[in-house]
Structure 1
Amino acid sequence: MAPDATYYDEVRDNPEVIDPPKNEDMVEVSEQINDHTQLSAKANLADASSVRELLECPVCLNAMYPPIHQCSNGHTLCSGCKPRVHNRCPTCRHELGNIRCLALEKVAASLELPCKYQSFGCLGIYPYYCKLKHESQCMFRPYNCPYAGSECTVVGDISYLVSHLKDDHKVDMHSGSSFNHRYVKSNPHEVFSCFGQYFCLHFEAFQLGTSPVYIAFLRFMGDDSEAKSYSYSLEVGGYGRKITWQGVPRSIRDSHRKVRDSYDGLIIQRNMALFFSGGDRKELKLRVTGRIWKEQ
């Protein structure tokens, strides 16, 4: 029976020749051996590709990991998709039950596969059941767009994201390790280039409990291990008063929301922000100064 479409919706050097062949028979045998070796190599590659196809869930199309389920007819799917198809095989519609495909799980254990971020520069080969963990921590995995306040799904390396922020999100770009800006809106985005790196400065309004506050913080466009090599300070004030903050920039591996909700930045109560703004204390005109430096 054909699959039910609705179920898919749901869910190096040449070797040195020491003794060349003496006669045509030996040449013919040599050619036969070489042909056999090449065919074997191609067959092995084809076999590996076929096994990888077998390990692809027909519903979500992702690689399957134990427990791998199967129906009485031998069709398989991953454990995550089993409840999504209401315990019925998406291929033949038979009830799935609780049958595990132990043979396929053992075959998977014998595989070694390249990292899925190979195109980004990762050259590692990993056992099937270790590959997923590696990929979650791979230093070559792309970064998510760090633009705050949007559901931007763009991913890429740092140079690509810098261009994306400038061209698509119209983010202000600056050079230098110090800044002095007056904010008249609560959600500006700025990128600073210094020490051969890029840093994102965020400033926005949000609720701290029931109190309206502003927060400013810096994020490093790179991994956390590199981010820890830098520090930054922020200062806001006026009329003889000021608030200062010193911290370590967080990596853009941490989402904007995660950093904000951890209060890891300069927090300014709204009434204090309006006081610093002067005037009638109704309009935000806040000057924030800061500096980035590299730790020795």
Structure 2
Amino acid sequence: MFCKEVTESCTTSMDSDLATSSAELGSSNYRKADPGLSGNPGRPSNNDVHDLLECPVCMNLMYPPIYQCPSGHTLCSNCKVRVHNCCPACRHELGNIRCLALEKVAESLELPCRYQILGCHDIFPYYSKLKHEKNCKYRPYNCPYAGADCSVTGDIPFLVMHLKNDHKVDMHDGCSFSHRYVKSNPQEVGNATWMLTVFNCFGRQFCLHFEAFLLGLAPVYMAFLRFMGDEDEAKEFSYSLEVGRNGRKLTWQGIPRSIRDSHKKVRDSQDGLIIQRNLALLFSGGDKQELKLKISGRIWKEQ
């Protein structure tokens, strides 16, 4: 049976958590990792099998269930839904035929991490490779800028220059700081972000965030620090924040969160200095006409 012509685009990337798209690395000059495993004469190499495992629709690597049409064309389970059960190659109806042979062959493959070019030299069985890549310490970092959606990824030196040049973020040297945040109409809380200050300290970089949002129905302000690196490195440091005026003081001490955690995740976990609006206005002078908060802080390295 032949099915109707499919007119919708089939190039959308996979929604499944098992998708490994080469587009994840963005426009960077990362090259695809070479399996480096040669085949025997007269037999297809592992690299050839790797190519067979790429879905012809979304170009992602396929994981079970892998489907095939009566003519033998294969595609992933997500794309099977997107093409309305119609083979994009021969227009035959797909049905529910599993390509068990290809699934079995995939079990025998060992491939390098996709971040090989960035320094990861481990080799993994095909079906466990993706799980490793989701947590590989060499994978690129997301841009930590919170003032707008930014899809840029890269290593830390690249992101530091990106923050400075593209987001015009203030850069400061030193492990102690004092910053003033001003808002002309503090009654308009909503979700707002004063973003961002980056500190160079101990040869590493730290991002100071200050945000306004509603905690339930209560308008609050929050300041917190993120570390530009992985979580295990972030735990080597501590920081303190302080805000106050007229003999009153509010302090916070904690461990900076890695930028692997989004600013929203940190904010929602309330892992930082939280200031209720009435208290923030008291620290601002008490006239409730303008927010003027001076936040001081210090970063130190644990012994």
Q: Distance in 2 between matches of 1:228 and 1:45?
A: 50
> Which position in structure 2 is the counterpart of 1:171?
169
1:115 maps to amino acid = C
Q: Please, which of 203, 206, 209 is the counterpart of residue 199 of structure 1?
A: 206
> Which position in structure 1 is the counterpart of 2:293?
286
Q: Please, which of 6, 9, 22 is the counterpart of residue 8 of structure 2?
A: 6
Consecutive aligned runs of 4 or more in structure 1 exceeding 3 Å deviation: 3-7, 40-46
Q: What displacement does 1:188 show?
A: 2.9
SS at match of 2:225: strand
> Which position in structure 2 is the counterpart of 1:59?
57
Please, which runs of 5 or more residues in structure 1 have no aligned partner?
12-39
Question: Normalized per residue, which structure has more helix?
Answer: 1
User: Which of 118-127 and 256-265 deviates more?
Assistant: 118-127
> Which position in structure 1 is the counterpart of 2:75?
77
Q: Is the 8 A contact 1:189 1:201 kept in 2?
A: yes
Query: What do residues 7-53 of structure 1 show as CA deviations (whole Å, max 9, x unaligned)?
Result: 42457xxxxxxxxxxxxxxxxxxxxxxxxxxxx86968963232111
User: Which of 185-194 and 50-59 deviates more?
Assistant: 185-194
Query: What do residues 206-240 of structure 1 show as CA deviations (whole Å, max 9, x unaligned)?
Result: 11011111000000100001111111111111111
Q: Please, which of 222, 231, 235 is the counterpart of residue 228 of structure 1?
A: 235
Alignment size in residue pairs: 267
Query: What do residues 75-127 of structure 1 show as CA deviations (whole Å, max 9, x unaligned)?
Result: 11111222222222222222222111010011111111121111111112211
Q: Alignment identity in percent?
A: 69
1:289 maps to amino acid = S
> Which position in structure 1 is the counterpart of 2:274?
267
Q: Distance in 1 between matches of 2:43 and 2:178?
A: 59
In structure 2, the CA distance between the partners of 1:241 and 1:45, relative to structure 1 (3 Å rule), is farther
> Which position in structure 1 is the counterpart of 2:96?
98
In structure 2, the CA distance between the partners of 1:238 and 1:284, relative to structure 1 (3 Å rule), is same
Q: Is the 8 A contact 1:7 1:59 kept in 2?
A: no
| Match status 1:216 vs 2:223 | yes
Cα RMSD over matched residues? 2.1
Normalising by structure 1, report the TM-score: 0.85
- Map residues 235-274 of structure 1 onto 2, 5 A cutoff: 235-274=242-281
Q: Please, which of 106, 114, 117 is the counterpart of residue 115 of structure 2?
A: 117
SS at match of 1:285: strand
SS at match of 1:237: strand
Q: Distance in 2 between matches of 1:44 and 1:198?
A: 53
Normalising by structure 2, report the TM-score: 0.83
Please, which runs of 5 or more residues in structure 2 have no aligned partner?
14-37, 184-192
Q: Is the 8 A contact 2:146 2:195 kept in 1?
A: no
Q: Is the 8 A contact 1:10 1:85 kept in 2?
A: no
Q: Distance in 1 between matches of 2:44 and 2:143?
A: 37
Q: What displacement does 1:295 show?
A: 1.0
Q: Is the 8 A contact 1:7 1:90 kept in 2?
A: no
